[in-house]
Amino acid sequence: MTEAYDAAEMMAVAMARLVKNGKLTFVGVNSPLPFVAVMLAKRLHAPDAIFVSISGGIDPSPSVLSATTSSASLAAGSASVFDNQDFYGLNGRGGIDTTFLGMGQVDVLGHVNSSVIGTLAAPRVRLPGGGGGPAIMPSAREVILWRAGHSRKIFVEKVDFVTSAGNVSRVVTPLCVFRMAAGRLALDSIHPGVARDELAARTGFAIANLDAAPVTPEPTARELAVLREIDRGGVRYAEFPGHRAPEKRP
């Protein structure tokens, strides 16, 4: 059995395993967990993965990881730096292999809502908006969604408003990993220690493959050691209120 780990570390490792060597991987704005995951993957199984940040840096090597994925620090050590117009041109030509994007809600068809809860005319809640998601999702070859929470309000049968859609491959949460299968989200794996009835109760749609999906492999000792080494400041906890980042080691 591996050493103790928490939900943030399970998510970071699960996302890191989805990064493919030699592929161009983009991390959206305000995406600290995927940022840590890509940096972890590059230290482990995907050294030749090409990381593109929203700030325009290509394969940066910052001395300290930042929870702000649009930080100018992500230009440090970059092979080159480009502007947003160049990025969207590259994306529109199909040049992005994998993109990690956050979301407000997602439904069983993989439609993302980052706009409103309720109707546009009389919203109950206004969400931050889609940013570049509506342009990125239909063009990126693979979209991996993530959310550091899992409830029936997040995972719904049908979103109130479709902000973004297209090319969803996986959705990673503190409880599980979903995959797109035959046009609908199905359970890919359930994280260790999570009961299947709990997952069903916290998801607003019937989960395909609920009983048959395997348990997500636990983080290995090496995965945890490298994760904690590269993220000494605890960026992985930025989306987990109440979690205390570990003390920085000298």
pLDDT in tens, 147-187: 999 999 999 999 999 999 999 999 999 999 999 999 999 99
Res 31: pLDDT: 85
Res 248: pLDDT: 47
Domain for residue 229, yes or no? Answer: yes
In what order do the strands lie in the sheet containing 24-27? Answer: 50-53, 24-27, 98-102, 142-146, 168-172, 176-181, 184-190
> For 79-93, what is the mean pLDDT?
79
Q: Which residues contact 182 (CB under 8 A, 6 or more apart)?
A: none
Residue for token pair 């990025």? 87
In whole angstroms, give the CA distance from residue 124 to residue 127. 10
Q: Which helix (H) or strand (E) holds 41?
A: helix 32-43
In whole angstroms, give the CA distance from residue 114 to residue 167. 17
In the chain, how many domains are there? 1
The model's confidence at residue 54, banded by pLDDT at 50, 70 and 90, is confident
In whole angstroms, give the CA distance from residue 180 to residue 169. 5
In what order do the strands lie in the sheet containing 105-107? Answer: 112-113, 105-107, 155-156
Contact 112, 165 (CB under 8 A): yes
Indicate the SS3 state at residue 181.
Answer: strand
Q: Are strands 142-146 and 155-156 parallel, antiparallel or unpaired?
A: unpaired
Token digits of residue 182: 């035959």
Q: Which residue has the higher pLDDT, 168 or 88?
A: 168
In whole angstroms, give the CA distance from residue 169 to residue 19. 12
Contact 172, 145 (CB under 8 A): yes
Q: What is the CATH number of the domain that holds 229?
A: 3.40.1080.10
Domain for residue 247, yes or no? Answer: no
Token digits of residue 175: 């409880």
Quick check: 106 pLDDT over 90?
A: yes
Domain for residue 242, yes or no? Answer: no
Containing domain of residue 77, as a range? Answer: 7-237
Contact 143, 192 (CB under 8 A): no
Contact 21, 45 (CB under 8 A): yes
Domain for residue 121, yes or no? Answer: yes
Token digits of residue 156: 């719904």
Domain for residue 122, yes or no? Answer: yes
Cα–Cα nearest to 65, from 56, 76, 79, 54: 76
% the chain with pLDDT above 90: 64
In whole angstroms, give the CA distance from residue 58 to residue 48. 12
Look at 111-120, 165-174, 175-184, 218-227 and tell me which has the smallest mean pLDDT. Answer: 111-120
